[in-house]
Amino acid sequence: MKKHCILLIIFALSFSLVGQTLKTAQTLYNQQHYSEAAKLFQSLLKRRPYDAKLNYGYGMSLAKSGQQEAALPYLQKAVTKKFSSAYPELCDLYFRLYYFDEAVTAIQNFLALPNISAAVAKKYSALLVKAKLGADMIKHVEIVTIVDSLQVDKTDFFKHYPIKKDDGTVFSSQQLNKQEPADMLAYRSQRGNRIVFADSLHGKAALYSTFQMTDRWSDPLPLSDVVNNYGTSLNDPFVSSDGITLYFAATGDHSLGGTDLFVTRYNMKENKYFIPINYGMPFNSIYNDYLLVIDDVDNIGWFATDRFQPKGKVMIYTFIPNAERTIIQSTDSAYIRNAAQLKTYRLGKMPVIHDAIAIDTLDALTSRNKNNIHFVINDTLIYSSPDQFKSEQARQLFLQADTLNQNIAALEQELIIKRQAYSDAQTQEEKTVLEPQILALEQKVIGLRPQPKLLRNHARDLEIKTLQGSSAPK
């Protein structure tokens, strides 16, 4: 009996201590001391690992202290225990971390719960639209070569674009009308006789155009209903040197973040613009992306974004536009998420490419037409197209080498991002996960590097034998 009473006292004291520790953890969390709160929640979880409230508290403390990936399993566990407060937090976290498929499922489950207020339902129904868009966009992340980055004030960021006069001029719409907000931009063509500008004085921000007449400018007219109805707020117009390709920024259901970048072209036959297309990842993000400019002559481009930037700042990225859109081919979802977010370059760091073959193949991906080659057969014969091969086997070997070079380039890009992610990792846990992935990729690349040359040499030998056979006397 005495022993039983002692056990009850110990249990009561233990329960009291747990309650006090939980109260302290919640107080620290409310005071925004998230790291200290996380330590207490973690100690409590060791005793009660399936407690929904503790999993929620620990997950939120981790998320608020910057360890968002580490927070996911604890919020997930809280949701499985039907802890209602965890649902919206998990939905938001999935979206912020680019787990868009998971975000779609979580939001749908959350919206299916009873007693959700109309305001919450409206908010997460809108987020569901964006999550579905993100789920589609992340399947088509483009390989982009970033060559420079510059952090500037958002107020006049467009002034830092080194746009040549031959490409036109970007300026504030306030120069056309002083009543325009300071962030509305305009574009004047190379010849100076056409202006496309953002105007917010007619109910919503939309694009207008005006042309120079003999002695005056024409009355501004809406650029296009097809374009202006594609978003709720349009801005940042830029027209390519061809005069028909229009880049602009807009918010709305077609935007993943606040402001996304879009492209459309003028259909001269039908005298109207085509339906705009979201410019995709990594140019667009869940944040705000601004003013896409492409210099077609020098093959250089710029865009700005406030992702990962302090308030009031944007990062201007300089990139090499691809001749043809090249999509990342990888089964590594973490790599694709990092590439989509431009995490490799978020600190303004330059990519480091460690091997000449990677540089050559990146050039091949971004600027070479696949039908134009330079393949030396012998001292007097150079092929400029795969169609010139006499030996079908040799041609196939050459094409295999070409494909392999592209695969190596993609793996090199993947390595760049993973190495940077390792450098930026905030915890040893993240580094422990990344280290074997990096080592495995390095070994794979090392094993692949000699193969394109071997395939090309074999193709050359086969082609020479074919040519010698066809020229032999009969």
Q: At which residue do the structure tokens 């995709």 appear?
A: 280
How many independent structural domains does the chain possess?
3
179 and 195 in a single domain? The answer is yes
Q: How many alpha carbons fall within 13 Å on the CB side of residue 272? A: 9
The predicted pLDDT at position 347 comes to: 39
Question: Residue 18 — very low, low, confident or very high, per pLDDT cuts 50/70/90?
Answer: low
pTM exceeding 0.75: no
Contact (CB, 8 A) for 310 and 356: no
Contact (CB, 8 A) for 198 and 185: yes
312 and 440 in a single domain? The answer is no
248 and 390 in a single domain? The answer is no
Q: For the chain, give me the number of helices (H) and strands (E)?
A: 13, 16
Residues sharing a CB contact under 8 Å with residue 336, sequence separation 6 or more, in sequence order: 138, 141, 328, 330
341 and 441 in a single domain? The answer is no
Query: Is residue 106, in this structure, part of any structural domain at all?
Result: yes
Residue type present at position 426: Q
Contact (CB, 8 A) for 193 and 211: yes
49 and 151 in a single domain? The answer is no
Handedness of CA 85, 91, 97, 99 (dihedral sign): positive
Q: Is the pLDDT score of 315 beyond 70?
A: yes
Query: Could you give the residue ranges of the DSSP H alpha helices within 246-324?
Result: none
Contact (CB, 8 A) for 276 and 244: no
Mean pLDDT estimate for the chain: 85
Which structural domain range is residue 221 located in? 141-345
Give ∠ CA 13-14-20 in degrees, rounded to 5: 90
Query: Is residue 362, in this structure, part of any structural domain at all?
Result: yes
The predicted pLDDT at position 303 comes to: 97
pLDDT, one tens digit per residue, over 21-49 is 788 888 888 888 888 888 888 888 888 88
Query: Is residue 56, in this structure, part of any structural domain at all?
Result: yes
313 and 444 in a single domain? The answer is no
Mean pLDDT over 371-387 rounds to 81
322 and 371 in a single domain? The answer is no
Beta strands 260-267 and 245-251 are antiparallel
Give ∠ CA 161-288-197 in degrees, rounded to 5: 55
363 and 328 in a single domain? The answer is no
467 and 337 in a single domain? The answer is no
pLDDT, one tens digit per residue, over 269-290 is 888 899 999 999 999 999 999 9
Contact (CB, 8 A) for 237 and 176: no
The predicted pLDDT at position 235 comes to: 96
Higher-scoring residue by pLDDT: 419, 467: 467
pLDDT, one tens digit per residue, over 331-377 is 888 889 989 998 865 433 334 333 333 333 334 433 444 456 778 88
284 and 210 in a single domain? The answer is yes
